[in-house]
Structure 1
Amino acid sequence: MPHAAELYLPRLRPAYRTEGGAAYLGDSLELLAHLPDDSVQLVMTSPPFALLRQKEYGNRDEAEYVEWLAQFAALVRQKLRPDGSFVLDLGGAYRRGIPSRSLYNFRVLLKFCDELGFHLAEDFYWFNPSKLPSPIEWVNKRKIRVKDAVNTVWWFSKTEWPKADVSQVLTEYSDRMKKLISDPAAYYTPAERPSGHNIGASFGKDNGGAIPPNLLQIPNSEAGGQYLTACRRVGVKSHPARFPARLPEFFIRFLTEPGDLVLDIFGGSNTTGRVAQTEGRAWLTFEQNAEYLAASTFRFMEKSASVSELNDVYTAILRGESLDLSHLNAPLLKFA
Structure 2
Amino acid sequence: MQQSDLFEPLLAAYCSVQIHDEGISNAALYKALKLEGGERKPVGRARQPHNLAHRKVRWHQQTLRKLGLLERVPGQRGNWRLTPKAQKDGDLTPAPEGVALVAFSTDLGVAIWTRTETLAGMLTDQISAIITSPPYPLREARAYGNPSEAEYVDFICGALEPLLKNLIAGGCIALNVSNDIFLSKSPARSMYVERLTLALYDRLGLQLIDRAIWHNPAKPPGPTYWASIKRQQLNVGYEPVLIFCNDPIKCVADNRRVLQPHSMRHAQLLAAGGEVRTATYGDGAYKLRPGSFGNVTAGKIPKNVISLTHVSREVEKTRKEAKAVGLPTHGALMPVKLARILVEFLTPPGGLVLDPFSGWCSTAMACEEAGYRWMALEMMAEYAAGGGLRMGDRPGFRASFDLEGWQPPGAAERN
TM-score, scaled relative to structure 2: 0.68
1:194-242 deviations in Å (ceiling 9; x for gaps):
3333455242333122111111111111145442342244353211110
Q: Secondary structure at the match of 2:174?
A: strand
Which residue of structure 1 aligns with residue 11 of structure 2? none
Amino acid corresponding to residue 220 of structure 1 in structure 2:
H
Q: Secondary structure at the match of 2:334?
A: coil
Report if aligned partners of 2:129, 2:354 keep a CA contact under 8 Å in 1: yes
The answer to whether the aligner puts 1:17 opposite 2:108 as a matched pair is: no
Task: Quote the Cα distance in structure 2 between the aligned partners of 1:302 and 1:40.
Answer: 25
The answer to whether the aligner puts 1:221 opposite 2:311 as a matched pair is: yes
Which residue of structure 1 aligns with residue 191 of structure 2? 103
Q: Computing the radius of gyration over CA atoms, which structure comes out larger, 1 or 2?
A: 2
Amino acid corresponding to residue 175 of structure 1 in structure 2:
M
Report if aligned partners of 2:100, 2:113 keep a CA contact under 8 Å in 1: no
Which residue of structure 1 aligns with residue 349 of structure 2? 258
Distance 1:317 1:259, change over 3 A: farther
Residue 153 (structure 1) aligned to one of 237, 241, 251:
241
Distance 1:12 1:56, change over 3 A: closer
Q: Secondary structure at the match of 1:25?
A: strand
Q: Secondary structure at the match of 1:107?
A: helix
Q: Secondary structure at the match of 2:129?
A: strand
Q: Secondary structure at the match of 2:121?
A: helix
Q: Secondary structure at the match of 1:276?
A: helix
Which residue of structure 2 aligns with residue 236 of structure 1? 327
For residues 297-316 of structure 1, the aligned pairs below 5 Å read: 297-302=388-393, 312-313=402-403, 315=405
Task: Quote the Cα distance in structure 1 between the aligned partners of 2:100 and 2:385.
Answer: 18
Which residue of structure 2 aligns with residue 306 of structure 1? none
Which residue of structure 1 aligns with residue 383 of structure 2? 292
Q: Secondary structure at the match of 1:221?
A: coil
The answer to whether the aligner puts 1:203 opposite 2:290 as a matched pair is: no
| Structure with greater contact order relative to length (CA < 8 Å, sep ≥ 6) | 1
Task: Quote the Cα distance in structure 2 between the aligned partners of 1:86 and 1:48.
Answer: 16
Which residue of structure 2 aligns with residue 330 of structure 1? none
Residue 369 (structure 2) aligned to one of 270, 278, 285:
278
Structure 1 position 267, deviation (Å): 0.7
RMSD: 2.5
Distance 1:155 1:199, change over 3 A: farther
Which residue of structure 1 aligns with residue 202 of structure 2? 114
Task: Quote the Cα distance in structure 1 between the aligned partners of 2:257 and 2:192.
Answer: 32
Residue 72 (structure 1) aligned to one of 131, 152, 159:
159
Distance 1:320 1:40, change over 3 A: farther
The answer to whether the aligner puts 1:135 opposite 2:223 as a matched pair is: yes
Report if aligned partners of 1:77, 1:118 keep a CA contact under 8 Å in 2: no
Percent identity for Structure 1 against Structure 2: 28
Which residue of structure 1 aligns with residue 272 of structure 2? 183
Q: Secondary structure at the match of 2:226?
A: helix
Structure 1 position 320, deviation (Å): 5.0
Structure 1 position 260, deviation (Å): 1.1
Amino acid corresponding to residue 304 of structure 2 in structure 1:
N
Residue 248 (structure 1) aligned to one of 333, 339, 344:
339
Which residue of structure 1 aligns with residue 72 of structure 2? none
Structure 1 position 175, deviation (Å): 3.4
Report if aligned partners of 1:180, 1:188 keep a CA contact under 8 Å in 2: no
Report if aligned partners of 1:41, 1:81 keep a CA contact under 8 Å in 2: yes
Which residue of structure 1 aligns with residue 85 of structure 2? none
Distance 1:132 1:249, change over 3 A: same
Structure 1: tracts of 5 or more residues without a match? 1-10, 304-308, 322-336
Task: Quote the Cα distance in structure 2 between the aligned partners of 1:199 and 1:182.
Answer: 17
Which residue of structure 2 aligns with residue 43 of structure 1? 130
Distance 1:219 1:297, change over 3 A: same
TM-score, scaled relative to structure 1: 0.83
Distance 1:141 1:159, change over 3 A: same
Task: Quote the Cα distance in structure 2 between the aligned partners of 1:240 and 1:18.
Answer: 24
Which residue of structure 2 aligns with residue 326 of structure 1? none
Structure 2: tracts of 5 or more residues without a match? 1-98
Report if aligned partners of 1:85, 1:155 keep a CA contact under 8 Å in 2: yes
Which residue of structure 2 aligns with residue 328 of structure 1? none
Which residue of structure 2 aligns with residue 30 of structure 1? 118
Distance 1:195 1:107, change over 3 A: farther
Report if aligned partners of 1:121, 1:156 keep a CA contact under 8 Å in 2: yes
Q: Secondary structure at the match of 2:366?
A: helix
Task: Quote the Cα distance in structure 1 between the aligned partners of 2:356 and 2:314.
Answer: 26
Report if aligned partners of 1:105, 1:152 keep a CA contact under 8 Å in 2: no
Distance 1:114 1:21, change over 3 A: same
Structure 1 position 123, deviation (Å): 1.7
1:85-119 deviations in Å (ceiling 9; x for gaps):
11111012111111110010111111101221001
Task: Quote the Cα distance in structure 2 between the aligned partners of 1:136 and 1:66.
Answer: 26
Task: Quote the Cα distance in structure 2 between the aligned partners of 1:188 and 1:109.
Answer: 45
